[in-house]
Amino acid sequence: MTKSELIARLAARFPQLVVKDADYAVKMILDAMTDALARGDRIEIRGFGSFALNYRPPRLGRNPKSGDKVQVPEKYVPHFKAGKELRERVDYPQ
């Protein structure tokens, strides 16, 4: 499913709204989630999962082309952890 398919499915669930509303709502939700992570905040969606940042310490890397050593600075990367309900629903029936 792509973002435009998601918008179409949401629009179908809210016949009283125009497609533009669903489109704008999806954009707002994703922007708010991006902004939260960029601020260093967590995101917790019950039944779905949580997003947080993982720390990557500075390290000595190499330029794969020239073989030169380069200092790679510390950084944070987004990490998603599926919630219990999503995990169980996606898994094979036990």
Using CB under 8 A as the criterion, which residues of the chain lie in contact with another protein when the complex forms?
A: 1-3, 6, 9-10, 13-14, 16-17, 21-22, 24-26, 28-30, 32-55, 75-82, 85-87, 89-92, 94
Q: Check if the beta carbon of residue 93 is closer than 8 Å to that of residue 87.
A: no
Scan for tokens 């996606």, then name that residue. 90
Please identify, using beta-carbon distances, which residue of 62 and 89 lies nearer to another protein. Answer: 89
CA angle 58, 60, 61 (to 5 degrees): 110
Closest separation in Å from C-beta 57 to another protein = 13
What is d(CA 22, CA 11) in angstroms, rounded to the nearest whole number? 6
Closest separation in Å from C-beta 64 to another protein = 19
**How far lies 81's CA from each of 32, 33, 50, in Å?**
18, 15, 5
Closest separation in Å from C-beta 74 to another protein = 10
Please identify, using beta-carbon distances, which residue of 47 and 57 lies nearer to another protein. Answer: 47
